Structure 1
Amino acid sequence: RAFLGTGVEFVVGIGNEAVPAMASPAAAESWLQLHVVPHLRAGARITCITVGNEVFKGNDTALQASLLPALRSVHQALGALGLQGRVNVTTAHSLDIMGVSYPPSAGAFHPSAAPHLQPFLAFLSAARAPFLINCYPYFAYKDDPARVPLEYVLFQPNAGVVDPRTRLVYDNMLYAQVDAVYAAIQAMGHTDIDVKVSETGWPSRGDPDEAGATPENAGTYIGNLLRRIEMKQGTPLRPQAPIDVYVFALFNENLKPGPASERNYGLFYPDGTPVYNVGLRGYLPPMASHEAATQVIHWFLLIATASVVFALS
């Protein structure tokens, strides 16, 4: 309700645990009637349904086999409700599905994922839906800080990396990762599918072995990314096509399992106070809860005008 009339677009997700059930057209339509249609009628701008998240990252073959039937059922149900063209359907992938990502022009999907991705890409092409990829340059830096220049992953001035096949110059890792995905899609015969970054972010805190997880680096990464997006900048491979980016995340998640970094990707603490300064509007000082909530909404509106949105999980 807080966003009605604001123009902010929403992506609504179906969790992995619910994907097998969505293979039933009746179940898919029932889910849409419950979770999507009432909000659309109220004026919310829901533009996309994601079915599952990073399904091909694990080894749950039953889940993987149910993904495409679920996507087709949700797409069919959207048609039955007269929502095709208004709401599209896709799924988000981990960058782990890439078997080759360097150089970007040699991008190729991992052999284990390729058999699933061929019919999936055909579905996206027919449905005119985007390919969503979760990209975290932070992981590359954390795993090899001695060889991965921090400036390259933080969008700071650097010498850049030249793709030896195309001679295109990349001054940041995120754009190189996106273009590698475009190359992998093209290698499977598709040039009509847009790639969108469904998650990217940088942790403000981590365990002792998590290099680079600091508030300063997090603020630099997000702030520089937002400036790039505000410029409506495309990648070297597709310079005329500004990329859409979903920043992970709006809030820190204190109960999330795993290393400390997993609980510290948020721009805000749960009470609405800022974790760090992204450099766009100056430091946001601690504030009362009502004022904090209002400020969070203002941030949503600011980012929504620049093809970026903060992801809630």
Structure 2
Amino acid sequence: MATKLILLGLLVNLFMLTDAESVGVCNGGYGDNLPSKQDVVTLYQNNGISKMRIYDPNQDTLEALSATDIELMVGVPNDALQSLTDQNVANAWVRDNIQRYSNVNFKYIAVGNEVDPNNENSQYVDYVLPAMQNIHTAIRDAGLDDRVKVSTATYTGLLENTYPPSKGAFKGNVVGFIEPIVKFLAQNNLPMLANIYPYFGYRGDPNKNLQYALFTAQKTVVTDDNNGLQYSNLFDAMLDAHYAAQARVGGENVEIVVSESGWPSDGGQEATIDNAGTYYKNLIEHVRGTTGTPAKQGISIETYLFAMFDENQKGGDETEKHFGIFSPDQQLKYDGLSFN
């Protein structure tokens, strides 16, 4: 009997290990000191990073990825969305950037990134859904829809309420934009992509709790009064707020892939090497588990870290230049990170 129990325990542990979700890393390019595309792909391979996100179909990167096992999320830049409202243009985009690279392990196409009626990307709002629909049609007609999933990358800025998580809701003037997108994803069994940044949630919180943001809180910090669910980290709370917002517009069963998450190492409040290293290490350990979030127990949290390198030409706040987990000289900035 004891032997059977030991064997059962080993099988359970083996199952948990093989079911663990490996993390991806976003590969941005806003730098004048970054390695070659081939060197970047080699760096992914040498560090066991099995998933990559890029923000446009860069030819050199796609060629470097050919015949590797790296899963790829490829983006459609916002300024290309309007052209893709023409089905013929969408067909050509898929032919030139997906079908042409038959040895690349495409997984997702992110049609637009952080388009929002309330930010600098508002001019693209009317183009996201038709572009998604046309790209999806082109992918389906190419016989690739069983493995290449079409979506768009949203972010927490679309929400008007994130506390408590169960009250998560999209802003009033966002609903008309996002609801048809969520319903399209639900109808086609496609995931939503969401950029989740506890760093920015922490900065905007008047009751700042750094341990809650860094996964280092030793006990429950937030109890959701609506359902009694308990939260010890801000990442789960923000993700569940997204799930709650989706449920309100017909997306209760639309899975969320975390398409970006990171912490800067310089340039702003609590942006330090120690905090960033703590965040990345704890995030990786968290999402590689199989417990899910309090509201979505048992659902793996597929996550892409932002970003591969510090990017010295990135616009915006100074922190935007310091999200890399590697320095441009290809040296890992944080000890103890393991990606698989």
TM exceeding 0.5: yes
1: CA distance, partners of 2:121 / 2:319: 25
1:27 aligned residue (72, 89, 98):
89
What residue ranges of structure 2 are gaps of 5+ in the alignment? 1-62
2: CA distance, partners of 1:227 / 1:153: 15
- 1:186 Cα shift? 1.1
Is the contact between residue 165 and residue 240 of structure 2 (CA under 8 Å) also seen in structure 1? yes
Provide the residue aligned with 1:219 in structure 2: 277
1:179 maps to a residue whose letter is D
Structure 2 residue 113 is the aligned partner of structure 1 residue 53: yes
Is the contact between residue 94 and residue 135 of structure 1 (CA under 8 Å) also seen in structure 2? yes
Q: Write the mapping of 1:98-247 to structure 2, written as runs, cut at 5 A.
A: 98-144=159-205, 147-160=207-220, 161-206=222-267, 210-247=268-305
Query: Relative contact order: is structure 1 or structure 2 higher (C-alpha 8 Å, sep ≥ 6)?
Result: 2
Provide the residue aligned with 1:309 in structure 2: none
Is the contact between residue 205 and residue 264 of structure 1 (CA under 8 Å) also seen in structure 2? yes
What residue ranges of structure 1 are gaps of 5+ in the alignment? 282-302, 306-313
Per-residue CA shift, 1:207-229, capped at 9, x if unaligned? xxx21000000000000111112
- 1:7 Cα shift? 2.9
Percent identity, please.
36
Query: Aligned-pair RMSD on alpha carbons?
Result: 1.6
Q: Write the mapping of 1:272-283 to structure 2, written as runs, cut at 5 A.
A: 272-277=330-335, 279-280=336-337
- 1:61 Cα shift? 4.6
- 1:189 Cα shift? 2.8
Q: How many residues are matched?
A: 276
2:310 aligned residue (243, 249, 252):
252
TM-score by length of 2: 0.77
TM-score by length of 1: 0.84
2: CA distance, partners of 1:181 / 1:111: 15
Is the contact between residue 197 and residue 261 of structure 2 (CA under 8 Å) also seen in structure 1? yes
Structure 2 residue 332 is the aligned partner of structure 1 residue 271: no
- 1:135 Cα shift? 1.1
Is the contact between residue 118 and residue 188 of structure 1 (CA under 8 Å) also seen in structure 2? yes
- 1:60 Cα shift? 4.9
Is the contact between residue 88 and residue 127 of structure 1 (CA under 8 Å) also seen in structure 2? no
Is the contact between residue 114 and residue 121 of structure 2 (CA under 8 Å) also seen in structure 1? no
- 1:59 Cα shift? 5.5
1: CA distance, partners of 2:125 / 2:84: 13
